[in-house]
Amino acid sequence: KDSYDITLLPGDGIGPEITESTKKVLTALCEKCGFDMNLKVALIGGAAIDAVNDPFPQESLEQCQASDSVLLACIGGYKWDSNPRELRPESGLLKMRKEMGLFANLRPAKVLPQLIDASTLKREVVEGVDVMVVRELTGDVYFGTPKGIETINGERVGYNNMIYSESEIDRIARVAGDVASKRGKKLCSVDKANVLDVSQLWREVVTDVITKDFPDVELSHMYVDNAAMQLIRWPKQFDTIVCGNIFGDILSDEASMLVGSLGMLPSASIGESGPGVFEPCHGSAPDIAGEDKANPLAMILSAAMMLKYDLDRPDEALLLENAVEAVLDQGLRTPDIKQEGDGCKLVGCSEMGEAVAKIV
């Protein structure tokens, strides 16, 4: 295949400008490598709420589903923060994940040598850290029912159901086993099996899947509280981590902070079949939106994940990743990764995008 339909979801805040830079890079890559990308924009988040009063309209969903892959920038902003929940940008994100069946979220946290000083952790602790968090994304307390707020015995009670079925655990364990077997072959499954029934089932099914079908992967288990400590104590002990939706939400963000430069971190959300969604881990940074100060590299690296996981073009993915490292080696830095006295050159979002485009 040498022509792809890609849906771009620029979203909110800095979303449009990092999308613009990423487009330039993808266009350059296509020219160089001799394939085509048909990049079509759709609405999500606050932008969609403002336009059609729905954070992820049916039209966007259908366009995404008809694409080969989806590249999302970021969503959210103060403007919509006091909206009722169903009219908030995040609800669009959750709906997209659920409707597109994106049950596996891959969140790499890799420390780049050029940016090692951006971490608040000591150099010797984070040097060489390369952790992949595989987070389940369509189950758990995020989507479990029954849920709600109701009055019981004269007072209100709020509740959500933390729930996983065997088949949900089985399929995420397979993704994690596969990811781990292509990396360092070490998988740590994180749960709270000393307290939770749902975690007991989780541990049992993960153990089954990995020991039977991924014999070359070394499996360990860790309680979530301990994992939150160990990530800080000695992150290099981890290769691949697998966990449920809420523990993964917390731990993947914690892991990304080890790296220190959120503006560099991509993610992939994939399903059984059909297009995946690729997006940076950072938020929409409304405070700097439109000022050409945003860092487009996480979105560009997300495009690299798209090339690898959805378009089956690992070589082109590598080209992008190398180009990103090369602009860092050239000493270009957006404000978020500029350190005092690093002797580097401060650039804006568009200049950074152009620099990457020139290299690929």
Please report, as ranges, the residues that interact with ligand IPM according to CB under 6 A.
90, 93-94, 194-195, 225, 249
CB of residue 310 to a copy of itself, shortest distance in Å: 25
CB of residue 195 to a copy of itself, shortest distance in Å: 6
Q: Which does 224 bind (CB under 5 to 8 A by kind): a copy of itself, ligand IPM, none?
A: a copy of itself
Q: Which of 130, 170, 253, 342 is catalytic?
A: 253
Interhelix angle for 224-233 vs 245-259, to 10°?
10
Q: Please report, as ranges, the residues that interact with a copy of itself according to CB under 8 A.
A: 85, 88, 90, 94, 120-122, 125, 141-142, 144, 147-149, 152, 155-167, 192, 194-202, 224-226, 228-229, 232-234, 246-247, 249-254, 256-258, 262
**Measured between alpha carbons, how far is 189 from 134 in angstroms, rounded to an integer?**
9
**Measured between alpha carbons, how far is 198 from 288 in angstroms, rounded to an integer?**
42
Told to judge if 249 belongs to the known catalytic residues of this protein, a careful annotator would answer yes
Write the secondary structure of 30-95 as one string of H (helix), E (strand) and C (coil). Answer: HHHHCCEEEEEECCCHHHHHHHHCCCCCHHHHHHHHCCCEEEEEECCCHHHCCCCHHHCHHHHHHH
Q: Which of 68, 140, 191, 249 is catalytic?
A: 249
Q: Which does 201 bind (CB under 5 to 8 A by kind): ligand IPM, a copy of itself, none?
A: a copy of itself
Interhelix angle for 349-359 vs 314-329, to 10°?
120
CB of residue 344 to ligand IPM, shortest distance in Å: 30
Told to judge if 309 belongs to the known catalytic residues of this protein, a careful annotator would answer no
Residue 255 backbone dihedrals phi, psi, to 5 degrees: -60, -40
Residue with smallest beta-carbon separation from ligand IPM:
90
**Measured between alpha carbons, how far is 338 from 323 in angstroms, rounded to an integer?**
18
Nearer to a copy of itself, 58 or 161 (CB): 161
Told to judge if 192 belongs to the known catalytic residues of this protein, a careful annotator would answer yes
Q: Which two structure tokens, joined as six digits, stand for 32?
A: 């160089």
**Measured between alpha carbons, how far is 281 from 266 in angstroms, rounded to an integer?**
6
Q: Which of 50, 81, 117, 225 is catalytic?
A: 225
Q: Which residues are catalytic?
A: 142, 192, 225, 249, 253
